[in-house]
Amino acid sequence: MFITCGEALYDMFVKPSDGGNPHGVTVDGVVGGSPLNMALGLARMGNRVSLFTRISNDAFGQRLRDFMANNQISDEYCVAADQPTTLAMVETDETGHPSYSIYSNGTADCSMEMSDIPGDLDPRDGLIHLGSFATVLEPSGRALREFAKQNADTHFITYDPNVRLVVVPEVEPWRETTDELLPIAGMVKASDEDLGIIYPDQPIEAFIEKALVAGADICIVTKGPDGALIGSADGRLVSVPGQKVNVIDTVGAGDTFMAASMHYLAAQSACEKGLARDVDLIEMGSFAVKAAAITCSRRGADLPSLADIEAFDG
């Protein structure tokens, strides 16, 4: 049903060492990367999902493949590579908000080429998702964007810029990529933080209008604890409130929101241009907010199952 495209990496959570060394740190590594996080969430919600990326043959890459197998994420579109695995060093502040240092130079998932683009796709796979830094960082970005364009006439495309200036510090590539992908996307999500970087000094409503005019059925802007603003091509604009939760960290919250929104569309048989605009935006947004709140209550990108979301009472 779903193909998520882009980076697959290890998030290395860093904290001061408790071993008596004032300059030491301890590191706890967990599987991460926005597209792989979303694949995990979609699989836990009961969906067929595949990942399109390069995966290293190193020890981290082998663990990534094991993780995917253990979580029913297909690697049929993954390309084996000798480059190392991308690593993201993560530190969180007292509110749980993460800061990243990402080591991506010459790594497998950031070195994709046109020759990696799969030919015939499984006919069961009807939605393709792009987003985050592998979609912008060359050469992978060129291959991923071309993959989406090649399949835009037959597949529902979703997009989330998920800006990471620590990887691509210049703003213009993020803006150019967003402008390039909006015309083929059926559903777009961005955070208010993303938009403050890509389109500064513009209200978030302006981005929603821009995406809908470009051809999207649905455009979502998430606002952290304040929920989300969602617009549709039939003229609706709704606000969905956030959910109060004991925040451990916010790693993976945006990925969870997008994965839950994609699951909702699939459950409504609306993963097709022209159909998505007819869904209940409040119901979809509330479902996604609940899912993201659960992830915030957990350490790292530990996305919830469908049963977790349905049982969540706020």
pLDDT tens digits, one per residue of 134-155: 999 999 999 999 999 999 999 9
Question: Is residue 100 scored above 90 in pLDDT?
Answer: no
- What average pLDDT does the segment 11-27 reach? 81
In this structure, what token pair is assigned to residue 278?
């007819």
High-pLDDT (> 90) share of the chain, %: 84
Question: Is residue 15 scored above 90 in pLDDT?
Answer: no
**Does a cis peptide bond (omega within 30 degrees of 0) precede residue 16?**
no
Residue 16 is predicted with a pLDDT of 81
Question: Is residue 18 scored above 80 in pLDDT?
Answer: no
Euclidean distance between CA atoms 131 and 200, whole angstroms:
20
Euclidean distance between CA atoms 105 and 110, whole angstroms:
8
Residue 101 is predicted with a pLDDT of 87
Nearest CA among 39, 25, 103, 108 for reference residue 67: 39
- Asked whether 108 and 55 are in contact (CB, 8 A), the reply is yes
Residue 247 is predicted with a pLDDT of 92
> Residue 183 — very low, low, confident or very high, per pLDDT cuts 50/70/90?
very high
Query: Among positive and negative, which fits the CA dihedral 164, 286, 43, 127?
Result: negative
Q: Which residue has the tokens 């993963």?
A: 271
Question: Is residue 58 scored above 90 in pLDDT?
Answer: yes
Amino acid symbol at 278: D
- Locate all alpha helices (DSSP H) within the chain, ordered by sequence: 34-44, 59-70, 140-151, 171-181, 192-198, 204-214, 253-267, 281-296, 306-311
* Average of per-residue pLDDT values in the chain: 94
> Residue 296 — very low, low, confident or very high, per pLDDT cuts 50/70/90?
very high
Please state at what angle helix 59-70 crosses helix 34-44, rounded to 10 degrees.
20
pLDDT tens digits, one per residue of 267-282: 999 999 999 999 999 9
Report helix, strand or coil for 105. Answer: coil
In this structure, the dihedral spanned by the alpha carbons of residues 153, 273, 185 and 117, taken in order and rounded to 10 degrees, is -30
pLDDT tens digits, one per residue of 213-232: 999 999 999 999 999 999 99
Question: Which position has the higher pLDDT, 270 or 101?
Answer: 270
- Asked whether 2 and 50 are in contact (CB, 8 A), the reply is yes
Euclidean distance between CA atoms 197 and 307, whole angstroms:
36
Contacts of 274 (CB under 8 A, 6+ apart): 217
Q: What are phi and psi of 251, to 5 degrees?
A: -60, 125
Residue 95 is predicted with a pLDDT of 77
- What average pLDDT does the segment 75-103 reach? 89
> Residue 17 — very low, low, confident or very high, per pLDDT cuts 50/70/90?
confident
Model's pTM, two decimal places? 0.93
Question: Is residue 7 scored above 80 in pLDDT?
Answer: yes
Strand partners, 87: 10, 103
- Locate all alpha helices (DSSP H) within 12-169, ordered by sequence: 34-44, 59-70, 140-151
Nearest CA among 103, 48, 107, 106 for reference residue 77: 48
> Residue 107 — very low, low, confident or very high, per pLDDT cuts 50/70/90?
very high
